[in-house]
Amino acid sequence: MKALTKTKFNFPGQKGVYVGKVRDVYNINDKYLVMIVSDRISAFDVVLPKGIPYKGQVLNQIAAGFLDATKDIVPNWKIATPDPMVTIGHFAVPFKVEMVIRGYLSGHAWREYQSGKRTLCGVTMPEGMREHQRFERPIITPTTKASEGHDEDISKEEIISKGIVDEADYLMIEDLTHKLFERGTEIAARRGLILVDTKYEFGKKDGKIYLIDEIHTPDSSRFFYKGGYEERFNHGEPQKQLSKEFVREWLISNGFQGKEGQNVPTMTDDFVEKVSERYIELFENITGEEFQKADATDLEKRIETNVLNFLKSN
């Protein structure tokens, strides 16, 4: 199975390329962004040494579907998906924060809570909560958007006082975050899932706020199976998850949490294949559609041809 872990395209009008942990984003004349979702996988802000076949296609197609399903709430950057691993969209200047919203005490929030903290990003969490317990109302726990290294937790007050986002824009994206999470929760419920937590990114173009990047993918979100949630919670049992958390758990069990001096454990071909199968399972559960594997004979050529065809016709 082939995986795309690096791109080095030179498209007409290309002004630059941003290489993220998973996505390579090509700037075309400050008009379009060509986002190629690679098969790279990251955890604890570290890109793991092997790619996961079909992961990029899974993420790109889930995000495209959810962008279409939420465009009545806020305009988004997507214009077209000319290739299973590519979205082309508007060039917008991103806000330098990620809007993380949590409906349940899980993941990072639980790890912080378990360590004794009761305030996260300026938000107070009640005493006596248990792992995976539902918050009375979803909480927003923003992070800085680091160009490299770890994203850091930050409060609403710090974001505004430091001028990272002005108050009017912040209040707007905070409101949109709640509305998007509510819509995502409704869609997930129809699939027999719980949207536990997720993150949204926003940008501005011509003075207007746009939703950018990915949305409601298993890399940016955590889903539980709805059936059996209450029973598992009441018995203190682990929840059945649809997220990248299973990769984090594998790393933790093998002594890696991205800390200094720790080495990434060996990713066997068998493990890589299992992760690929898990991502396909995630796709089918989240979308309710059967996953169609795109031809991966020559990923680079396929992507280049499809992007060039779009640029020529637009």
**Which of 57, 99, 96 is CA-nearest to residue 74?**
99
Residues composing the chain:
314
What would the mean pLDDT of 139-147 be, rounded to a whole number?
88
**Which of 187, 181, 194 is CA-nearest to residue 241?**
194
Tokens at 149, concatenated: 């290294």
**Is residue 160 domain-shared with residue 27, that is, in the same domain?**
no
**Is residue 189 domain-shared with residue 218, that is, in the same domain?**
yes
CA angle 112, 230, 195 (to 5 degrees): 60
Q: What is the pLDDT of residue 147?
A: 61
Give the residue numbers spanning the domain of 145: 95-242
What would the mean pLDDT of 291-308 be, rounded to a whole number?
97
Q: What is the pLDDT of residue 243?
A: 76
Say which DSSP state 237 is in: P
Contact in structure between 60 and 287 (CB atoms under 8 Å): no
The DSSP-derived string for 106-130 is -HHHHHHHHTT--EETTEE--TT--
**Of the ranges 41-50, 95-104, 244-253, the best mean pLDDT one:** 95-104
Q: Is residue 257 part of a domain?
A: no
CATH number at residue 229: 3.30.470.20
Q: Is residue 182 part of a domain?
A: yes
pLDDT at 239 over 70: yes
Say which DSSP state 281 is in: H
Q: What is the pLDDT of residue 148?
A: 59
CATH number at residue 87: 3.30.200.20
Q: What is the pLDDT of residue 150?
A: 66
Q: What is the pLDDT of residue 226?
A: 96
Kindly give, in sequence order, each residue whose CB lies less than 8 Å from that of residue 234, ignoring residues fewer than 6 positions away.
none
What would the mean pLDDT of 7-17 be, rounded to a whole number?
97
Tokens at 280, concatenated: 């396909």
Q: What is the pLDDT of residue 133?
A: 98
**Is residue 216 domain-shared with residue 142, that is, in the same domain?**
yes
* Virtual torsion, Cα 10, 14, 16, 20, nearest 10 deg: -70
**Is residue 222 domain-shared with residue 145, that is, in the same domain?**
yes
**Is residue 114 domain-shared with residue 175, that is, in the same domain?**
yes
Domain boundary among 187, 207, 242: 242
Q: Is residue 181 part of a domain?
A: yes
Which one is predicted more confidently, 62 or 149? 62
Kindly give, in sequence order, each residue whose CB lies less than 8 Å from that of residue 55, ignoring residues fewer than 6 positions away.
3, 39, 41, 275, 276, 279
CA atoms of 183 and 162, how far apart (whole Å): 31
Contact in structure between 268 and 46 (CB atoms under 8 Å): no
**Is residue 110 domain-shared with residue 68, that is, in the same domain?**
no
Q: Each residue of 72-113: pLDDT tens digit?
A: 999 999 999 999 999 999 999 999 999 999 999 999 999 999
Q: What is the pLDDT of residue 293?
A: 97
Q: Each residue of 150-173: pLDDT tens digit?
A: 679 999 999 999 999 999 999 999
3-class DSSP state for residue 280? helix
Contact in structure between 18 and 24 (CB atoms under 8 Å): yes
**Is residue 143 domain-shared with residue 82, that is, in the same domain?**
no
**Is residue 203 domain-shared with residue 75, that is, in the same domain?**
no
Question: Which range, of 2-11, 145-154, 287-296, averages the lowest pLDDT?
Answer: 145-154
Distance of CA 222 to the CA centre of its chain: 9
How do beta strands 222-225 and 241-242 pair?
antiparallel
3-class DSSP state for residue 190? helix
Number of domains forming the structure of the chain? 2
Radius of gyration of the chain (CA): 19
Q: Is residue 161 part of a domain?
A: yes
The share of the chain scoring above pLDDT 70, in percent, equals 98
pTM of the model as a whole = 0.91
